[in-house]
Amino acid sequence: MAVYDDNNLFAKILRGEIPCKKVYEDQYALAFHDINPQAPTHILVIPKGKYLSYDDYSQKASAEEIAGLMRAVGTVAREIGLDAPGYRILSNIGTDGGQEVPHLHFHLFGGRRLGPMLKRDN
């Protein structure tokens, strides 16, 4: 398995070396606006710990970290008002998943009807 890269973009955001438009932070998670939004609301929620992807996280994170991050995702969505109209959570994993930044992140999309889950090829 790949080794966590301390110089990945989200590690730099966590260290405050790159700015972000923060919407939420607690001991487990940081949430901020995606720089290239794919929906009217597009937030990224990331763990504070060093995890490459959901695959890495689901193997190595403690139960406390997992609970903390999952609660943070729901809290963020409620705080920005996505809970009532609804929203989508997505996490890309690895090459086929289209993951670009090698630090686990959950995308939260909302603000309009989001349509089919995946782009249709036919």
Q: Which of 34, 48, 55, 75 binds ligand AMP (CB under 6 A)?
A: 34
Q: Which stretch binds ligand AMP (CB under 6 A): 48-56, 68-76, 81-89, 95-103?
A: 95-103
The HSE-up count of residue 91 (CA atoms within 13 Å, CB side) is: 19
CB closer to ligand AMP, 16 vs 98: 98
Sign of CA dihedral 9, 32, 69, 88: negative
Task: Decide: is 93 part of the binding site for ligand AMP (CB under 6 A).
Answer: no
Task: Decide: is 20 part of the binding site for ligand AMP (CB under 6 A).
Answer: yes
Please name which of 91, 86, 85, 84 lies closest in space to residue 70, comparing C-alpha atoms: 91
Contact 90, 107 (CB under 8 A): yes
Task: Decide: is 89 part of the binding site for ligand AMP (CB under 6 A).
Answer: no
Q: Which stretch binds ligand AMP (CB under 6 A): 28-36, 45-53, 55-63, 66-74?
A: 28-36
Provide, rounded to whole angstroms, the least separation between the CB of residue 53 and ligand AMP.
9
Copy the structure tokens of residue 84: 């009532």
* Rounded CA separation 70/74 (Å): 7
Binding positions for ligand AMP, rule: CB under 6 A: 9, 18, 20, 34-36, 44, 92, 98-101
